[in-house]
Amino acid sequence: MDLIPKPDQVVSAASNVAHKVLYGGVADLRPMPRTLIDDGELREVYHYRPAATTRQVGDPVLLVTPLAAPSTCYDLRRGCSLVQHFVTEGRPTYLVEYGEVSFRNRNLGIEHWVDEVVPTAVREVSAHAGGRPVHVVGWSLGGIFAMLAAADATDLPIASLTVVGSPIDTSLVPIVAPLRPLLQLNPLAGRGAVTRAYQAMGGAPKPLVKWAFQLSSFQKLVTKPLALATHLDDADFLAQIEAVDRFTAGMMAYPGRTFGQLYHRFVKGNVLRTGTFELDDRTIDLARIDVPVLVFGGANDGIAPVPAVKALVPLLSGSPDVRFEIVPGGHLGMLTGRAARDSTWRVLDAWIAEWSTPTEEPSARKPAAKKTAARKSPTKKPAAKKAAAEKTAAKRPAARAQAPSADSIGANPQRRYGSEGSRSLSR
């Protein structure tokens, strides 16, 4: 609120406070309805049921969650949910999550997600959607898992890949960079204090994961009471705070072996900066990804700052189209913050439409007589061109939607989006 609040602000603030006292909050935290279509060890694949007023058409979207984060990252709250946005637009929407991690899962490593969870989810979604290719969207570590799976199994039915806030070069992460010299000190030949601690606990426990996520936004955590006091009249702002608090409270543990691999290879070794990753008896090369890739960097992301994410772009030499976008928000905000509704989501919509196979509507079909006449036309393409087109279609959609102009959403790799205030958003 202003220093001297206006009468309407006072009324709104009183209403919001009363709503929080009587009902526990102002946010609509109801999850979007969904159905389980496949499950396995630490793998649950869900299909979000279509909205009553829309019909789901087109290629499906699979949302890949990161480890330790609840699936509410994609379904934060009504009015600010990427899942709700896709479902409302009529896009077949799916999600893979992992459930609670316990001590018995301590021996599971990264290969479990790269070899089994993500590939199985992609195939199950494609089959459930009638054999259509899948647009895979991964946030944070979910994006890294999706990339490694796509590079390792190039036969997966993937239409495009979107990576949101996935740090590739951890030397460019401000939180990690000052600690790297200390992490390299290894007084007990690989059995340092950190290693002994996560091995004894079977991984990274929930309280530690929650604390680490909060530490990444320490400034916001400190100024949160003041922000709440000055926004008591803004129901949308208060609802977002409530939803983020619920998300943070839902953080889960990391399996022991996976946490060890992340710590030693990603944080200490920074192995992904070269574009290759050793897994079991093979080397996974990100240059083998042969589908279009969209990469998002958050302008205010402290966990995965823009340079750490942008380091991925030159490593994707095998992709037919790589696009990098800078969008407003921090690590979670860039995905499902209030500004994401007019930035990240719009770019994602345009990207998926561009790389989707066309869906023929009944009303758009030509009469049979016209089709026959077209077949009798003397103008035919040379056989060589036809063969080349068929070969291209094996990796790219048969027909692309009209590409956006240089001034449209999703076309400018240097574009930054301005974040509107919550009061302007409510008008």
Q: Is the pLDDT of residue 222 over 50?
A: no
Rounded Cα distance between 223 and 217, Å, is 10
383 Cβ neighbours under 8 A, 6+ residues apart: none
Model confidence over 247-281: pLDDT tens digits? 988 887 777 788 888 888 888 889 999 999 999 88
Which pLDDT band holds residue 312 (cuts at 50, 70, 90)?
very high
First to last CA, the chain: 16
Determine the pLDDT at residue 324. 98
Q: Is the pLDDT of residue 76 over 60?
A: yes
Determine the pLDDT at residue 372. 38
Rounded Cα distance between 214 and 204, Å, is 15
Q: Is the pLDDT of residue 321 over 90?
A: yes
Which pLDDT band holds residue 345 (cuts at 50, 70, 90)?
very high
Average pLDDT over the chain reads 77
Q: Is the pLDDT of residue 401 over 50?
A: no
Which pLDDT band holds residue 96 (cuts at 50, 70, 90)?
very high
Rounded Cα distance between 308 and 173, Å, is 6
What are the structural domains, with CATH classification, of the chain? 7-359+404-426 (3.40.50.1820)
Extract the tokens encoding 26: 């102002």
Model confidence over 149-193: pLDDT tens digits? 999 999 999 999 999 999 999 889 876 544 444 445 454 444 555
Determine the pLDDT at residue 235. 76
